[in-house]
């Protein structure tokens, strides 16, 4: 499919132009973008909505704010940062994508991401599934008991929750305790086998953070703070992000 030509409508006042400049190294010289396309070559969202990271950056540089803040492509970027690693000038395109997302009124952002973020704000788990702390504790204890009874090699295995002074604080993707509880066990087994001193927290145990993908800074921060504060209160030394 042939690419549509970018139409320029004369000189425009751009909020993105300023942001792009901040994202460029060494004083924000837009000419630092070599238009080499390395960013686009490995981007999983290249070609969707007739967009790619190089085109997105060039449109920002040309002041095409209206197009940038209305294209649904920004919600297809996975925030994987591949483009940044590939870019010879280390231009931070996902940060620009994030700004474009944040410009959408909250209620118009994609329903799936919005709903998962709102669910995570419902209780202190931070879980996109809305699982409350008590339910998480129940599932972990239940699964642990089953494995201790049925697998003698792991009869002493632990899956601690809120263990004071544990070295590692682990989080957990919240889909697993709800839909695939057995999927939590391989990691427990590894930690048991190597003798790691670890714990989950009953608060802030959920590892995913859809509020970040939603470009909702306040909610993103709230969820991260709940996790970090729990780890600090328990006196853990290392935060292990399993997501």
In this structure, how many other beta carbons lie within 10 angstroms of the beta carbon of residue 187?
17
In sequence order, what are the beta bridge partners of 133?
none
DSSP state of 204: S
42: its two tokens:
């490995």
| Helix/strand/coil for 74 | helix
Q: In the bound complex, what is the minimum distance in angstroms from residue 88's beta carbon to ligand SF4?
A: 6
Nearer to ligand SF4, 53 or 160 (CB): 53
> Residues near 218 by Cβ (< 8 Å), separated by ≥ 6?
none
Q: In the bound complex, what is the minimum distance in angstroms from residue 56's beta carbon to ligand SF4?
A: 7
Nearer to ligand SF4, 43 or 234 (CB): 43
Q: In the bound complex, what is the minimum distance in angstroms from residue 207's beta carbon to ligand SF4?
A: 20
Nearer to ligand SF4, 72 or 235 (CB): 72
Element housing 122 (H / E): none
> Residues near 54 by Cβ (< 8 Å), separated by ≥ 6?
33, 35, 36, 37, 39, 40
DSSP state of 169: E
Nearer to ligand SF4, 69 or 123 (CB): 69
183: its two tokens:
């999927």
Q: In the bound complex, what is the minimum distance in angstroms from residue 230's beta carbon to ligand SF4?
A: 29
Q: In the bound complex, what is the minimum distance in angstroms from residue 119's beta carbon to ligand SF4?
A: 24
Nearer to ligand SF4, 93 or 191 (CB): 93
Q: In the bound complex, what is the minimum distance in angstroms from residue 102's beta carbon to ligand SF4?
A: 15
DSSP state of 172: B
Nearer to ligand SF4, 51 or 191 (CB): 51
Binding residues for ligand SF4 (CB under 6 A)? 33-39, 43-45, 53-54, 57, 77-83, 86-89, 91, 93-94, 97
**Sheet architecture: strand order including 238-240:** 198-199, 168-170, 238-240
């Amino acid at each position: 499919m042939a690419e549509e030509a970018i139409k320029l409508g004369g000189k425009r006042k751009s909020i993105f132009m300023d942001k792009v400049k901040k994202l460029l190294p060494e004083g924000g010289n837009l000419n630092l973008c070599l238009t080499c396309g390395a960013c686009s070559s490995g981007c999983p969202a290249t070609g969707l909505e007739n967009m790619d990271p190089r085109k997105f950056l060039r449109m920002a540089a040309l002041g095409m704010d209206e197009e940038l803040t209305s294209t649904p492509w920004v919600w297809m970027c996975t925030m994987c940062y591949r483009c940044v690693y590939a870019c010879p000038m280390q231009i931070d395109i996902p940060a620009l994508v994030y700004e474009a997302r944040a410009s959408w009124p909250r209620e118009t952002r994609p329903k799936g991401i919005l709903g998962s973020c709102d669910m995570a704000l419902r209780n202190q788990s931070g879980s996109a599934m809305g699982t409350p702390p008590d339910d998480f504790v129940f599932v972990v204890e239940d699964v642990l008991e089953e494995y201790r009874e049925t697998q003698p090699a792991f009869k002493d295995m632990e899956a601690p929750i809120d263990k004071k002074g544990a070295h590692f604080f682990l989080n957990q993707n919240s889909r697993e305790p709800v839909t695939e509880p057995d999927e939590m066990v391989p990691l427990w087994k590894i930690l048991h086998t190597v003798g790691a001193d670890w714990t989950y927290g009953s608060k802030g145990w959920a590892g995913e953070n859809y509020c970040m993908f939603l470009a909702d800074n306040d909610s993103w921060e709230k969820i991260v703070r709940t996790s970090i504060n729990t780890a600090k209160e328990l006196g853990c030394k290392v935060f292990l992000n399993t997501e």
